[in-house]
Amino acid sequence: MSELEALRERLREFAAARDWEQYHSPKNLASALIVEAAELLEHFQWLTQQQSRALPPEKLREVEEEIADVLLYLVRLADLLGIDPIDAAHRKIARNEEKYPAHLVRGSADKR
């Protein structure tokens, strides 16, 4: 079992033990995911880009927890929809590699 499959299983048991599957519609989970993505962004909103590259340890631990929350909702949502996120991600990078050929877009700020 891969590492995302292990998370998926643990989340299934977590929801089942609490009878929370009823709340876990894809619609609700997509909302919960963006709420966590905002809690992640909140840590960076007033920082300079430089500061965002050098977070103090306490801040880093908080950011880590928000990254965890986003990943958990992402895995749960993908599970409900029958999507394999790793496969999907590799296919998406492959598309981006074609769409943005390195020799054409090198250093350009238009898309990255």
| C-beta of residue 11 within 8 angstroms of C-beta of residue 76 | yes
CB 68 within 8 A of CB 37: no
> Where in the chain does DSSP place strands (E)?
none
The answer to whether 9 contacts a copy of itself (rule: CB under 8 A) is no
Q: Binding to a copy of itself (CB under 8 A): which residues in 85-104?
A: 85-86, 88-93, 96-97, 100, 102
> In whole angstroms, how close is the CB of 58 to a copy of itself at the nearest point?
13
Give dist(CA 50, CA 54) in Å, integer: 7
Q: Which two tokens stand for residue 56?
A: 């103090």
Smallest distance from a copy of itself to CB 76, Å: 11
Among 1, 2, 57, 98, binds a copy of itself (CB under 8 A): 2
Instruction: Please tell me the distance from the alpha carbon of residue 2 to that of residue 70, in angstroms, as a whole number.
Output: 19
Q: Which is nearer to a copy of itself, 49 or 58 (CB)?
A: 49
What count of residues does the chain have?
A: 112
For residue 62, the minimal CB distance to a copy of itself (Å) is 11
Among 12, 22, 62, 98, binds a copy of itself (CB under 8 A): 22
